[in-house]
Structure 1
Amino acid sequence: MNIQSLPPNVINLIAAGEVIDSLGAVVRELVENALDAEATRIVISIYPDLWWIQVADNGKGMSLEDLKRCSLAHSTSKIRSVNDLWKITSLGFRGEALHSIAQVANLEVASRLKGGDDTGWRIRYHSSGEAELIEPTAIAPGTIVTVSNLFRNLPVRRKGLPSTTQQLKAIQTLIYDIALCHPHVTWCLEQNDRSWFKISPGKTALQILPQLLNRVHQNDLQLLTQSFDTPSLPDNLSSIENQSTLELVIGLPDRCHRRRTDWVKVGVNGRVVRSPQLEQSILSAFARTLQRDRFPVCFVHIKTCPSQIDWNRHPAKTEIYLHSLSFWQEKTAAGIEQALRINTDSSASFHHGRVVKLLKVSEEKSTYNTDEQPPIKTAKSRDNLGLLELRAVAQVRKTYIVAEHPNGLWLIEQHIAHERVLYEQLQDHWKIVTLETPIILNQLTPTQVEQLQRLEVEIEPFGEQLWAVRTAPELLAKRSDCGEALIELSWGGDLQTAQVATACRSAIRNGTPLNLEQMQRIIDQWKNTRNPRTCPHGRPIYLSLEETSLARFFRRHWVIGKSHGI
């Protein structure tokens, strides 16, 4: 016979090689087990050149009986029957991790059950997953897993892996992704017995992301959390939760962006996954808000009914089948659009409260006192979008509009603010109208003629190297330089590019004097646009000078008597 069954040791080694394929895979599996054990502090130590990894957590821990069974093939506490596969609520569930690690490395686990007796246990495992050495050990409640001599029986695997630097970078990215999904956890990572990096806990991903990205502050980000009814499920599945949530953290396009799409991330029920469709929805939602060749900072975390997700697609569980994908694409795009609108900034009242506390502390040690003032009120919101009430007060150098609001003032660049207004109007109402007098263009190439025809502009030959244009976009048809604008449109690009070019040419030019009524009209139109932070080319439209910043700059919170030495 040519076809024969493989021996168990070969089967186990093949399966282990699929689950544990790198240093990062070991870290991923052990960290997921720690999170499933409700750990709030995880310490990871790595000696990459020695192929040694240790993960310590303060989770629930394991009893001695559980310790004996945890590394046996397909042994898990997460699921019990086939029906449980359709309602996965944990990060691990296959019972493969520890058994696979034991197949390709030396595995040792020490654990003490939280709420149990005061005795902890340490077990070293055989490659089959059976306990090889059992002894009591002094340990705090939680678990410490030590993996050494990784890929001892797969030398080719060691040689085929990327460099140490690349593997460490992959581990760092992995921990960043997990930390975003589990912001309540404290992370400490050590490399070669030296501190590598730490991540402090927070309430949401909004507090975590600034710790991961250089030069990004919490004020550069916007958090939006929405709840929905769980989308409809297939008939053969039943929902165990009625509510789904969408948590969205975006980098404001006028403050932070990236040269790559490396910070467009999608998380589903506690794990970052690859979802090309959702990632494309994110990029499309940021269209015409960033500069050319710049990409957004965005983290989307979907929490939905477990029966909506099938995790059995990829060994590392980075690819999933997500039911109602179009529903989540729509909600993600709508959430980003809402988050991009201008919201009132609560930082004013926060800083005011902090100053009052400092003064109260100083008051106890000094002869002066201060009466606590009520917090600075935030501006009234409109249509639940938090749009500020802006009042035009002046024009600077015939370029910038000075607008006052209850918390300070803004400088608004009049041309690009008007450009944003016109661009969104063109998006909603792109209209081609008939010209009263046809415009004659000359020296056009066939490509230029085809481009105008694609934009639904009526153009026909009018002689040798001459063309008559009989229709044009409505905004351009009223301009004296309509011919030049049509030539500009003929240079290429899609409809969106043509709309941007039309808006740019039609917007009020810098250097144009405006009265207060004209400035107010531009402000009112601009603040109600969908993406008021940047122009269609990605340039920031306004500069915010908040009252709290002005007060700090002019030292208005100083106590005058003390500053004079009294």
Structure 2
Amino acid sequence: MVSTIQALPTEVVHLIAAGEVIDSLASVVRELAENSIDAGATRIVVAMWPEQWRVRVTDNGCGMNLEDLQRAASAHSTSKIRICADLWKITSLGFRGEALHSLTTLADLEILSRPAPSVEGGVCGWRVVYGYTGEVVHLEAAAIAPGTVVTVSNLFGNCLGRRQGLPSTAQQMRAVQTTIQQIALCHPHIAWQVWQNDREWFTISPASTMGQLIPQILHQVRASDLQELQVEIPEKESQANDSKLNLVIGLPDRASRHRPDWLRVAVNGRMVKTSELEQTILGAFHRTLPRDRYPICCLHLLIHPGHINWNRNPAKTEIYLNDVNYWQQQISQAIEQALRINSATVKEVVHTSRVGKLIKAAEEKSNYNINPSQPDEPNQTSHYLTAVGQVNNTYIVAEHPGGLWLVEQHIAHERVLYEQLCDHWQIVPVEPPIILYQLSPAQVSQLQRIGLDIEPFGEQLWAVRSLPALLQQRDDCADAILELSWGGDLQTAQVAVACRSAIRNGTPLSLPEMQTLLNDWQRTRNPRTCPHGRPIYLSLEESALARFFRRHWVIGKSHGI
């Protein structure tokens, strides 16, 4: 009997391997751009002719000499690693030596390159054309500035079925744009210029940090809507350098998304997919956003390469991270720190449309009616907000070093109570029991699920013998328990208890009571929104007030002198 198992021909092996690395125009751009970054480029120009299946990437990196150019497209040729141990010390974006070789298998490849004049071989540039599987078929001297120009033409020309299976041109261009934006976020110091069919498509200007770059990509978000944080993380084990965590979040009272499409996680310069870290981010924002809204969060971990196994995915988008629980803990703490209101974030320069609308309404109505119910208290230097008065028994007017804030008292107190309940959820006995009527089996089961002691007490009667401690002294305790019986998990119950127990709008407060609430609220972990995601405060910055009252005018000129 003849064996049906046979070794694949070499050309088939190369084609299969190449298809794992290069599967679209976006993957071509990604691989070439990452090579440019590894070469130290600070300016990258990407030009595409999608109908011709052609891509050109130009950079001002270190360039290659003639010897390197002759080897660059050979199979498994790289300058990044040498031995097996190097796989656990990877600090570059590329290291497998597959990208250029794969391109020679799937397309026509041409490279022009020249090192810097100070480097050996930097006097002259070279143009190299590669044939199938990476052999050099044409070589000539070329006039070129230091750097590299890689041109890929006729992509998938030898396997046209691959082209037919790809998305439309418009979809591929969106994928290219997303790819470039993700790389730019990881390397904000690089300038990008992108062309499509000989016309400039978009540019990305260099920035000092990831947070300064985001408004160029997410145009509806302003810099003042974001909070950026950089944290040094000490290694658990002895390593050469401490780790760093760069975090940019959209403040939950100003910026959120309909979809979880701006949860971006990068590790050591590359965007990756890691469900564990993404769930950690979502968990850290839990009960800070409205229902069906998702956070804006860009996280970049710079950690010792020994913690990472990049060999999980051909595109290196999936990784294995050692001791993931430790990194999850660090991320949660960083997000908690970024969400706080403190001396670093209290002087935010915010002049949004909300402030403009409020001032416009004030002009029309002229009816603030701020009447402090107590004489002014001494300024409490231990806190950043000082209670001034109360508007309509609903909003606390607070002064801070940068201007004036309006704090909605009910939802500020709701945030305080909710976090207290999360930290100290306590079920206490109640005597006599609270009698409820006509509960369904589902309602009884729900009350038992959140820890309440409930038992039959007669025909269609139920006795509740324990309840959350916060509800114990309330006159509407029975109504509150009925509300809890309508479903949801423990956190939903905690939100409901906090909402029902919080100070009602319309309740007059003394200045000491206002100040106590402000102090408690400032100490919460997520002071910007209530557990339902509503904004708690409105900031009227001194700079915005100065612009409105035109205090920058010169007095003499304003009088026509």
Q: What TM-score do you get using the length of structure 1 for normalisation?
A: 0.91
Say whether the 8 Å CA contact 2:194–2:203 is kept in structure 1: yes
Q: Which amino acid aligns with 1:283?
A: L
The equivalences for 1:31-50 within 5 A come to: 31-50=33-52
The residue that corresponds to 2:135 in the other structure is 130
The equivalences for 1:56-455 within 5 A come to: 56-115=58-117, 116=119, 117-232=122-237, 239=239, 241-344=240-343, 389-455=384-450
Q: Which amino acid aligns with 2:403?
A: G
Q: For residues 507-527 of structure 1, give each alpha carbon's deviation from its aligned partner in whole angstroms, at most 9, with x where no partner exists.
A: 111111112121111111111
CA distance change for structure 1 residues 381 and 215 in 2, over 3 Å: closer, same or farther? farther
Say whether the 8 Å CA contact 1:105–1:150 is kept in structure 2: yes
The residue that corresponds to 1:482 in the other structure is 477
Say whether the 8 Å CA contact 1:344–1:381 is kept in structure 2: no
Q: For residues 260-303 of structure 1, give each alpha carbon's deviation from its aligned partner in whole angstroms, at most 9, with x where no partner exists.
A: 11111111000010010000000000010000000000011111
Question: SS at 1:128's partner residue?
Answer: helix
How far off its partner does 1:563 sit? Answer: 3.5
The residue that corresponds to 1:473 in the other structure is 468
Count of aligned positions: 528
How far off its partner does 1:2 sit? Answer: 2.8
Structure 2 Cα separation of the partners of residues 333 and 120 of structure 1: 50
Q: CA RMSD in A?
A: 1.7
Structure 1 Cα separation of the partners of residues 342 and 188 of structure 2: 24
The equivalences for 1:502-521 within 5 A come to: 502-521=497-516
CA distance change for structure 1 residues 267 and 153 in 2, over 3 Å: closer, same or farther? same
Structure 2 Cα separation of the partners of residues 522 and 10 of structure 1: 71
Structure 1 Cα separation of the partners of residues 349 and 552 of structure 2: 15
Residue range with higher mean Cα deviation, 76-85 or 289-298 = 76-85
CA distance change for structure 1 residues 499 and 185 in 2, over 3 Å: closer, same or farther? same
Residue range with higher mean Cα deviation, 547-556 or 332-341 = 547-556
Say whether the 8 Å CA contact 2:63–2:148 is kept in structure 1: yes
Q: For residues 154-190 of structure 1, give each alpha carbon's deviation from its aligned partner in whole angstroms, at most 9, with x where no partner exists.
A: 1111000111122111111111111111010011111
Question: SS at 1:46's partner residue?
Answer: strand
Structure 1 Cα separation of the partners of residues 250 and 209 of structure 2: 15
Say whether the 8 Å CA contact 1:189–1:196 is kept in structure 2: yes
Structure 1 Cα separation of the partners of residues 289 and 460 of structure 2: 39
Residue range with higher mean Cα deviation, 489-498 or 543-552 = 543-552
Question: SS at 2:14's partner residue?
Answer: helix
1:459 aligns with 2:436: no
Q: Which amino acid aligns with 1:343?
A: N
Structure 2 Cα separation of the partners of residues 130 and 460 of structure 1: 82
Question: SS at 2:116's partner residue?
Answer: coil
Question: SS at 2:290's partner residue?
Answer: coil
Structure 2 Cα separation of the partners of residues 553 and 485 of structure 1: 46
Structure 1 Cα separation of the partners of residues 489 and 543 of structure 2: 44
Q: Which amino acid aligns with 1:139?
A: I
How far off its partner does 1:349 sit? Answer: 9.9
Structure 2 Cα separation of the partners of residues 267 and 164 of structure 1: 27
Q: Which amino acid aligns with 1:293?
A: D
Residue range with higher mean Cα deviation, 29-38 or 63-72 = 63-72
CA distance change for structure 1 residues 496 and 347 in 2, over 3 Å: closer, same or farther? closer
Residue range with higher mean Cα deviation, 483-492 or 79-88 = 79-88
CA distance change for structure 1 residues 260 and 350 in 2, over 3 Å: closer, same or farther? closer
Question: SS at 1:175's partner residue?
Answer: helix
Q: What TM-score do you get using the length of structure 2 for normalisation?
A: 0.92
CA distance change for structure 1 residues 348 and 528 in 2, over 3 Å: closer, same or farther? closer
The residue that corresponds to 1:354 in the other structure is none
Say whether the 8 Å CA contact 1:246–1:301 is kept in structure 2: yes
CA distance change for structure 1 residues 380 and 78 in 2, over 3 Å: closer, same or farther? farther
Structure 2 Cα separation of the partners of residues 181 and 417 of structure 1: 36
Q: Which amino acid aligns with 1:483?
A: A
Structure 2 Cα separation of the partners of residues 132 and 98 of structure 1: 15
The residue that corresponds to 1:19 in the other structure is 21
How far off its partner does 1:564 sit? Answer: 3.5
The residue that corresponds to 1:29 in the other structure is 31
Say whether the 8 Å CA contact 1:476–1:506 is kept in structure 2: yes
Structure 1, unpaired ranges of 5+: 234-238, 352-378, 383-387
Question: SS at 1:230's partner residue?
Answer: coil
Structure 2 Cα separation of the partners of residues 417 and 545 of structure 1: 18
The residue that corresponds to 2:524 in the other structure is 529
Q: Which amino acid aligns with 1:203?
A: S
Structure 1 Cα separation of the partners of residues 18 and 428 of structure 2: 67
